[in-house]
Amino acid sequence: MEDRITGAEALLRSLINEGVDTLFAYPGGTIIRVFDSMFSHRNDIRQVLVRHEQAAAHAAQGYARISGKTGVAIVTSGPGATNTITGISDAMLDSTPIVVIAGQVSTTSLGTDAFQEIDLVGVTQPITKWSYQIRRAEDIAWAVSRAFYIAGSGRPGPVVLDFTRNAQDQLIEYKPEKTDHIRSYIPYPAPNPDEIDAAARLIDQAQRPMVLAGHGVELGQAEEQLKAFIEKGDIPVGRTLLGLSVLPTDHPLNMGMLGMHGNLAPNVQTNRCDLLIAVGMRFDDRVTSKASLYAPQAKVIHFDIDKSEFGKNIKPHVTVLGDCRTTLELVTEKIHKSSHREWIGSFRQYRDEEYSKVIADAIHPSSGPLRMGEVVNAVSTLADESTAMATDVGLNQMFSSRYFKYRKPRSIITSGGLGTMGFGVPAAIGATFGAPDRTVVVFCGDGGLQMNIQEFGTIMETGAKVKIIMLNNNFLGNVRQWQQLHYNSRYSCTPMINPDYAKIAEAYGICSRTVSERSELEAAIRDMFRTDGPYLLIANCLEEENVMPMIAYGDAVDKMIFSI
């Protein structure tokens, strides 16, 4: 008979049984027993001490997004647990598989307002796939196995385990478990042949079809199936923000990014096509703008693994429920090989218009201060093909998403649904551990960088080779743009007085360089990529720069504006 072990040790063995190789963690009193067990497993699992619990959740997200595995964060109770809620919410909206394990007071103290007690299950139930309190050590193997199965299967998402102190201390005879089925939970619905046939018929009948590819293609690892489908059907593709790397930027059927700050061609053609084929996307309001004005002329096919998305925002004519890796293959087999040369050619006028009115000056300005787009374009041009891009939120996110060139799957790590400032740096740190063979760059604004700048300490301690490019305009730029557009340039609380970022980087042992002149940019980027370690490139950019074109709030997607 195996020796009895503590619940804390059982947790670590259960994590190892799930293939966990990295933990993003911050210790505290109610979880200290687990950290004691972690010490014994420091050669089995990499343990990354973050500087704030929010960063632990974001780092777990970055790890998950680039690796395709489930990220793990371990924190203490009370404020340690509540500090992860932003990351948990972010993971829920962006369907990112993470497991957050938080300490909790002993069961005998529950409900007494004990020190650092919070009803974490109650707080997180609306923002998780599953939230569970472990009160007995004998439930640990079951709960951990179930947590990883739920987080990583079907439509992925976050799971919270609230781990009471007494359950950590109790002694048990440990037996590992592996969950592969939960009654009433069907993560991979079987495709319906009638839905497959109906979709194929609509596609074959369409004269002007268009695919909207989203994050679900990446989550389903269906990039090759998407490519086979669009190439057989000769169908142009618009991609959502989170779906940008599901198709290489230079693929001839890629027509650009959808949405408020996306590209003109796919937005305009959304309201010109006769068939919209949505694959793994949820018709977010940043894509549709005013729903009543969205593609009223088109029939809609919606592929998704989560039936709750059907009709939630846009009513489909045909739904295809299931894992898109499977359903795309089935539909591709059914459709006839087609040619839509004239329809695809009609995108060019809008692409040319956007290039002449916006893109040319954004990436190749002839004079004046540095522009955010040209910095992103230069970084992307000089990066190797395996480089993955993380972003923070704001103008930096929109410029980097628009002008970075995507060559491989899982190459964009950004906060889509929640739009979390402070996401970029910790997510990029997590990504370096999730894919240590890939270069990870992260674009930040001066606002978002300061929200989690303490994670420079994590970079210093771990040596995470994050390449941070700060697009510094001394403004909270995205809000400033809206103030200019809608509030007569009344810049309330958006101008920023900033610190000396180079000195901060130096204090943390991070190499840095500041550029303000166009003539210095390429050399600085080359220096960044040559440096074997973390790097902060500070690019001082045009202060009142706007990301264009854009859809004004509440307008139709084909009514993009080019200036304010």
Taking the C-alpha atoms of residue 512 and residue 527, their distance in angstroms, rounded to an integer, is 10
Q: Which residue has the tokens 């840095």?
A: 512
* Segment 361-404, tens digit of pLDDT: 999 999 999 999 999 999 999 999 999 999 999 999 999 999 99
* Segment 394-436, tens digit of pLDDT: 999 999 999 999 999 999 999 999 999 999 999 999 999 999 9
| % of the chain with per-residue pLDDT over 90 | 99
User: What is the predicted pLDDT for the residue at 100?
Assistant: 98
CATH superfamily of 4-173: Thiamin diphosphate (ThDP)-binding fold, Pyr/PP domains (3.40.50.970)
User: What is the predicted pLDDT for the residue at 108?
Assistant: 96
User: What is the predicted pLDDT for the residue at 397?
Assistant: 98
Domains 193-348 and 369-541 share a fold: yes
Q: Hey, what are 241's tokens?
A: 């923000």
Q: Which residue has the tokens 């596609």?
A: 203
* Segment 264-277, tens digit of pLDDT: 999 999 999 999 99
Q: Under CATH, to which class is 369-541 assigned?
A: alpha beta
Under 8 Å CB-to-CB from 182, ≥6 apart: which residues?
146, 149, 150
Backbone angles phi, psi at 323, to 5 degrees: -65, 120
Q: Where are the domains of the chain?
A: 4-173, 193-348, 369-541
Under 8 Å CB-to-CB from 471, ≥6 apart: which residues?
372, 375, 376, 395, 396, 399, 443, 444, 445, 446, 539, 541
H-helix or E-strand spanning residue 164: strand 158-164
184 by Cβ neighbours in 10 Å (0-12 / 13-18 / 19+) ranks as exposed
Under 8 Å CB-to-CB from 342, ≥6 apart: which residues?
none
| 339 close to 206: Cβ distance less than 8 angstroms | no
DSSP string, 436-485: TTS-EEEEEEHHHHHHTGGGHHHHHHH---EEEEEEE-SB-HHHHHHHHH
Residues with pLDDT less than 70, the chain: 1-2
Task: Give the SS3 label for residue 518.
Answer: helix
To 10 degrees, the CA torsion angle through 166, 75, 120, 149?
-90
* Region for residue 371 given its phi and psi (left: phi exceeds 0; alpha: psi -120 to 50; beta: otherwise): beta
Bridge pairing between strands 209-213 and 158-164 = unpaired
* Radius of gyration for the alpha carbons in the chain, expressed in angstroms and rounded: 24
Taking the C-alpha atoms of residue 493 and residue 516, their distance in angstroms, rounded to an integer, is 25
Q: Hey, what are 62's tokens?
A: 């970055």
Judge if pTM exceeds 0.95. Answer: yes
Taking the C-alpha atoms of residue 391 and residue 441, their distance in angstroms, rounded to an integer, is 8
Strands (DSSP E) found in 290-386:
299-304, 318-321
- Residues 142, 143, 148, CA angle at the centre, nearest 5°? 105
Architecture of domain 193-348: 3-Layer(aba) Sandwich (3.40)
